[in-house]
A and B are shown apart, each in its own frame.
Chain A
Amino acid sequence: MSPRVDRLTSLYVPDPAAAACPRCERELEQGIARREFLRLSLGGTLGFLLAGRAETLAALAQAAAAGRARADHLIVLWMTGGPSQLDTFDPKPGVETGGPFQAIDTAVPGIRISEHLPQVAKAMRELAVVRSMTSKEGNHQRARYLLHTGYPPQGTVAHPAFGSVVASERGRPEFDLPSFISIGGPSQGAGFLGVAHAPYVIDSPMRPPENLAAPAGVDRARADARHELLAAVDRSFALRGAQEETRAHGAVYAKAVRMMRSPLAKAFDLSEEKAELRAAYGQNTFGQGCLLARRLVEVGVPVVEVNQNGWDTHRNNFDETKGLMKVLDPGYATLLADLRSRGLLERTLVVWMGEFGRTPRINGNQGRDHFPRAWTAVLGGGGIRGGQVLGSTTPDGNEVSDRPVTVPDLFATLCVTLGLDPTKENISPQGRPIAYSDKGKPVAELLG
């Protein structure tokens, strides 16, 4: 349950010893996707046949005509390991695979979710629960890649994280903070978009980011003198054939120094918040991460990911998920309420998901295994028509029974709510056009 954080170096480093499941830990640990080749999903192919650019533009136009403020920010609540849909947002009490948890009513008549999410249940008017997510990647590493980039891993292209795509669109060069910040986990790299759009990783929201403060005894004047010396050395190196290297290095340094010196860096300091509010979010990495996400959005950071680790519940699924929900429920619900009370929710899209769901079948260790075939994601806030359930699964939870939503569809929907054209393309270094969404079709029912 504890975040895998190396205390000494105060930096997010996955700790292999802390992983519970020998089958998964290697995959989790490796994190960054390996190079493998394209595996076209059936869903992607169907999406291609169904989706036309015209339809996408129509969805964009519809959104604009509805006078809806498009979301400027994206917060992803990333459930590392793959959360169990049956024990959270798609409860099936009473059926053989349903597990011991009861379902409770929510603020929206007819929508019921797990009894262990009572605060989230009260916020159901803000949320659209998609119970018909379906994908094909059942390996952590590949699925993490898919659910962060919208594309299955391929050997030849390093796809950017969707957060990096949004950062490249919404980030302003003159902005002092990184445009994409990941809290408590590594998220996914910027791929071919380059490190300028890579996530800035904060291991723990409770500590200031590593090395952000100038060392003791180095005031502004002394720092400036140091930078002047550095500039002389870099000029000399550039003259010896390293213009490109010194330029890239200088750009990163300029950004780092601006961030150090910016008044916006105060956003990282949670001690400015009232104790009651901090307690409401939950005194734990995830809860405080949600609070930090709100603070970052408030000062203008376009994309924030907050990780909750521990959802790979191959063993003791019910004890584990109950504990996880005890942390998730106040963090998630308080985030929505806090954003709402500050007038930020209309402009902030909040997505809850992991890399896949978990099997309805309960294994011999009282656990549930990886299940990409039918799972749940939850969207809320800016641009989303809340208070609804989209799609459904069969009574045993083994199949999507209605309104399947593919990963490309999900990403196309995110694009539209953020005011981006999902068919817009980035060009990979090999000259290949890579659309923001892999031929997905925006889900019109979800758009507010």
Chain B
Amino acid sequence: MTILWLTVLLAGAGDDAGRLSDAIDRRVAAVWTARGLNPSAPASDGAFLRRVSLDVRGTLPTPAEAEAFLDDRDPLKRQKFLDRALVSEESAEHLATYFTNLLVGRTGGTNRFNDRDALRRRLHDAFAKNEPWDALVRDLLSAQGPSSENGAVAFTTRFEGKPAEVAGAASRVFLGMQIQCAECHDHPYQDWSQRDFHGLAAFFARSRPRPILDPEKKRPIGVELRDLPRGEHSMERDGERTVVYPRYRDGRAPTAADAEKRGRRASFAEYVTSDPLFPRALVNRLWDHYLGRGFVDPVDDLNPKAQAWNAGLFDFLTRDFAASGFDLRRLIAGILGSRVYALSTRPSSNNVGDEGNFSRARPRALSAEEVFHALLRASGAEGAMRRVAAEADGQLRDRYLRRFVFLFANDEMEEQESFQGTIPQALLFLNGPLSNGAFRAAGAIARGERRPLGTARAIASQKGPPGAKVDQLFLTVLTRRPDPEEKAKFTAHLENAKDLRAACEDALWALLNSTEFLHK
């Protein structure tokens, strides 16, 4: 095991992100030593592959990929897989989904002032070419024009031109600070006055979103954002309305000439991206996202007085991120390439109670989108869904996704710390179409196919003994091979069955309904 780790570390050490991973491992291990914690063993190959695939690509590995990876003797296979995954199309798409949800929510605002899809495309392009985070955020905060030309406007338009709401969201997402309460009164715990808050809001007082309607003027097909030359923000206090001029939280304010030349929002974008909290907020959020808990928890409670876990590492990563030119991919590669990220969930001799020091991996619940994509892939409905979407009903997939979002997610994108199952979720998996092969049949009929596809059917019809089929089912759904007890039980079920396909459906159902399927 030690040898494996050395090779993995050495493999990463040649490049920048590898050095970042090493630094993370050193600084986290120092905490373990100080607290006398024995870290868990490295995750198994299968667990690692599944975790990276879901975290980076947003879906499960294919069964073929899983099999090849498990049997691959290359000591550098983990690093190689991670490196490939990070530059994949799916990676850009999965990050775009995550940040779109964060920026405009899963519903995206009202219909008329919403071009959620344009924002997602803009983010996809940004992540595909690894656009620096500060440049991207500057654009999100200052872009103008129609969403068809630049989807970045959809962050601001989502709030329908309500300055206080844009300022509150920008502060929460980009600086990790919840300041919205100061809209109505001074902040109860932090040094935020109502005037400070409205000073931020005033940067957005001149932004006017406008829906772009289709030729019949019925349906919105996009939105447009323009900055007007004048217009002031006002706040209400003790029944009085007073005009408030833009002022950033450190006192900076645009001059009249600034505002004239480039608009107030451009100044705001510059102040935010040069704020010391700006890199910290992103580092904290990504650490939380990939490891289950932020340095500061909750992630949007990043006030200057907040106590951070391992402040040294937090500062180091923050400095590194800023110094790298806000290189997102490098930061993600650094975190995901670390030994800390790749630990097993299985406790060591003494870390079963460790919640906060990352000495073992916490099983993290999949996001709504991850559950959706994993379920499509594991059940074998993915191909059919793609074809149906391409042919006839392009909305089918979106409708299924909406249903998952409704069942598995909250709109505010709070990270789930543990499984929070509900009865409707359980019923969907117990009796719903995707875990029972019904979708497959429906999709096949819709396409006029004679032979329906699907995982259970495909595996049942393969040659080979029941034991091999069981291995295949486990690889498909859980990216691992069964342990001896599982193997014995599942094999017996297949061997004793009168109808092999029905038995394979039962096995698939059990795997899709397992707790493990919903975790990474």
Contacts and interface: CB of A to CB of B under 8 A. Distances in A.
Interface string B342-359: 001111000010000000
Contact of B515 (A31, A37, A198, A242): A242
A32 B424 CA distance: 17
A227 B510 CA distance: 7
B264 to A, nearest CB: 24
A244 interface: yes
Interface stretch (B144-152, B429-437, B452-460): B429-437
A213 B431 contact: yes
Interface stretch (B13-21, B240-248, B304-312, B402-410): B402-410
A245 B292 CA distance: 14
B514 A230 contact: yes
B486 interface: yes
Interface stretch (B69-77, B86-94, B106-114, B367-375): B106-114
A200 B423 contact: yes
A74 B112 CA distance: 38
A38 B178 CA distance: 13
Contact of A30 (B105, B184, B518): B105
B509 A226 contact: yes
Interface string A229-249: 110111111011110111011
Contacts of A236: 483, 485-486, 516
B291 to A, nearest CB: 15
Contact of B418 (A8, A19, A245, A260): A245
A12 B490 CA distance: 37
Nearest to A30: B411
Contact of B406 (A11, A198, A229, A249): A11
Range class of the A interface residue count = 35 or more
Given A30-B411, A155-B178, A229-B493, A234 B403 contact: no
A36 B181 contact: yes
Most chain B Cβ neighbours within 10 Å, of A217, A233, A240: A233
Nearest to A39: B184
Contacts of B347: 241
Interface in B143-190: 160, 178, 180-181, 184-185, 187-188
Contact of A6 (B185, B399, B518): B399
Given A16-B107, A229-B490, A237-B515, A256 B509 contact: no
Interface string B321-364: 00000000000000000000000111100001000000011010
A178 B346 CA distance: 34
A35 B171 CA distance: 14
Interface string B418-432: 111111111110111
Nearest to B189: A37
Contact of B507 (A200, A211, A229, A242): A229
Given A29-B110, A229-B507, A241-B346, A252 B421 contact: yes
Contacts of B427: 209-212, 256, 260
A350 B72 CA distance: 66
Contacts of B483: 236
Contacts of A36: 178, 180-181
B129 interface: no
A65 interface: no
Interface centre among A155, A200, A245 (most CB of B within 10 A): A245
Interface string A194-206: 1100101100000
A409 B411 CA distance: 31
Contacts of B486: 232-233, 236
A57 B6 CA distance: 68
Contact of B346 (A37, A240, A246, A255): A240
Interface string B499-510: 000100011011
Given A30-B411, A155-B178, A260-B430, A230 B107 contact: no
Contact of A256 (B181, B360, B430): B430
A250 B510 CA distance: 13
A222 B493 CA distance: 11
Interface string B436-449: 10100000000000
A96 interface: no
A253 B363 CA distance: 19
B181 A230 contact: no
A54 interface: no
B428 A210 contact: yes
A232 B110 CA distance: 46
A402 interface: no
Contact of B412 (A34, A211, A222, A233): A34
A172 interface: no
Contacts of B518: 249
Give the most central of B184, B412, B419, B432: most A CB within 10 Å.
B419
A255 B113 CA distance: 41
B511 interface: yes
B489 interface: yes
B2 to A, nearest CB: 21
Contacts of A22: 110, 112-113, 160
Contacts of A215: 431, 433, 436, 438
Contacts of B431: 211-215, 260
A107 interface: no
A226 B510 contact: yes
B423 A256 contact: yes
Given A31-B411, A215-B438, A230 B510 contact: yes
B402 A242 contact: no
Given A225-B506, A233-B511, A9 B400 contact: yes
Interface string A160-185: 00000000000000000010000000
A434 interface: no
B424 A225 contact: no
Nearest to A212: B427
A275 interface: no
A256 B425 CA distance: 9
Contacts of A32: 410-412
Nearest to A227: B510
B493 A225 contact: yes
A9 B432 CA distance: 11
A355 to B, nearest CB: 18
A210 B518 CA distance: 21
Contacts of A217: 502
Nearest to A248: B419
A218 B430 CA distance: 11
Nearest to B184: A39
A264 interface: no
Given A155-B181, A233-B511, A248-B421, A30 B399 contact: no
Contact of B181 (A37, A218, A242, A259): A37
A232 B403 CA distance: 29
Nearest to B185: A39
A246 to B, nearest CB: 5
B284 interface: no
Nearest to A27: B110
From B181, B411, B426, residue with most partner A Cβ within 10 Å: B426
Nearest to A8: B399
A256 B428 CA distance: 10
Q: Which of B423, B427, B493, B502 has the most CB of A within 10 A?
A: B423
Interface of A: 6, 8-9, 11-14, 16-17, 19, 22, 25-26, 29-32, 34-39, 155, 178, 194-195, 198, 200-201, 209-215, 217-218, 222, 225-230, 232-237, 239-242, 244-246, 248-250, 252-253, 255-257, 259-260
20 contacts: A34-B412, A36-B178, A155-B180, A200-B423, A200-B424, A210-B424, A210-B428, A214-B430, A215-B433, A222-B506, A227-B510, A232-B486, A232-B490, A234-B515, A240-B345, A245-B419, A253-B426, A253-B513, A256-B430, A260-B430
Report, nearest first, the 8 A-B pairs whose CB atoms are least far apart. Answer: A37-B181, A229-B510, A256-B426, A252-B421, A241-B345, A211-B427, A249-B515, A233-B514
Given A37-B187, A241-B347, 15 more contacts: A22-B112, A32-B411, A34-B180, A39-B185, A198-B422, A201-B424, A211-B428, A212-B427, A232-B485, A239-B346, A241-B360, A244-B418, A245-B418, A252-B422, A260-B431
